[in-house]
């Protein structure tokens, strides 16, 4: 289900999604966001897909919103409102996909591109990657990402990154807890595949429940979270995944969750 501005390919049970606007450093437009939403929606419901990777083709992961499209819009205010809603639909779908979504960050992840990476479950960055929350640099209030950023790094550091719009390196992103792994530039795809292969071997249904619980952390009270954990634990206890996990433990072997 490739669109004009994204492409997909499967490597086993891993669905790779590439942004395909290298000539604009993969800057986001309404049309690109629609294509990205569509392929994410499909990947989330494809039973043959167990993990999803988002990356940018060429020189950049995503340079944020397309400033030329904003300037060229007949009604910039209406266009920016529409663009924000389109980006929000993408990051919301990333959180809804009941499978791990990994950002493979090459080049720049700026503004909404940084927000796109932040919304993913796991993030791997090439050492040459650069990040910023550069909305204020062009006179815009942030259109996406403040929630994710503040929950990653805390309100104090988030304020610094948003107010200054400064660019920071992949290694600083690692120190801040924004990314999980930094690798050499030419090793990015291999490192992402290694991470993906670890995740696709995990119990898919239990992982989907775990992702939902993590989504609820900052919205639920302690008691509500404990209640939901209890419900999911009970459901999991009746699953083939649990039976396989227990059998593997007793038999002192690695569990095979792929067929469960």
Give the tens place of pLDDT for each residue, 21-46: 999 999 999 999 999 999 999 999 99
Q: Domains for the chain: give ranges and CATH numbers.
A: 6-200 (3.90.226.10), 204-251 (1.10.12)
Residue pair 143/135 in contact by the 8 Å Cβ criterion = yes
Helices (H), 97-187: 112-118, 146-153, 155-164, 170-176
Residue 237's pLDDT is: 87
pLDDT at position 224 over 90: no
Query: Other CB atoms closer than 10 Å to residue 103's CB: what's the count?
Result: 29
pLDDT at position 2 over 90: no
Tell me if the pTM is above 0.75: yes
Q: How confident is the model at residue 259 (pLDDT cuts 50, 70, 90)?
A: confident
Name every residue whose Cβ is closer than 8 Å to that of residue 67 and which is 6 or more positions away in sequence.
27, 138
Q: How much is the mean pLDDT over the chain?
A: 94
To which residue do tokens 């404990």 refer?
A: 226
pLDDT at position 1 over 60: no
pLDDT at position 144 over 70: yes
Q: How far apart are CA 222 and CA 28, in angstroms?
A: 37
């Amino acid at each position: 289900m490739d669109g004009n501005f994204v492409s997909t390919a499967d490597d086993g049970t891993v669905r790779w999604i590439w942004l395909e606007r290298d000539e604009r450093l993969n800057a986001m437009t309404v049309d690109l966001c629609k294509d990205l939403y569509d392929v994410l929606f499909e990947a989330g419901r494809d039973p043959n897909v167990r993990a999803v990777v988002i990356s940018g083709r060429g020189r950049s992961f995503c340079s944020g919103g397309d400033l030329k499209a904003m300037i060229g819009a007949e009604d910039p205010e209406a266009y920016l409102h529409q663009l924000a809603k389109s980006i929000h639909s993408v990051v919301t779908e990333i959180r809804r996909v009941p499978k791990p979504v990994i950002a493979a960050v090459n080049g720049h992840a700026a503004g909404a591109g940084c927000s796109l990476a932040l919304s993913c479950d796991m993030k791997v960055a090439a050492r040459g990657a650069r990040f910023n929350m550069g909305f204020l640099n062009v006179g815009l209030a942030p259109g996406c990402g403040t929630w994710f950023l503040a929950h990653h790094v805390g309100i104090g550091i988030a304020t610094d990154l948003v107010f200054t719009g400064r660019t920071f390196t992949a290694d600083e992103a690692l120190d801040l807890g924004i990314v999980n792994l930094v690798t050499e530039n030419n090793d990015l795809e291999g490192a992402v595949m290694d991470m993906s292969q670890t995740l696709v071997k995990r119990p898919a249904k239990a992982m989907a429940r775990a992702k939902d619980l993590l989504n609820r952390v900052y919205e639920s009270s302690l008691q509500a979270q404990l209640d939901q954990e209890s419900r999911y634990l009970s459901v999991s206890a009746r699953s083939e995944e649990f039976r396989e996990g227990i059998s593997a433990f007793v038999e002192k072997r690695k569990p095979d969750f792929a067929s469960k």
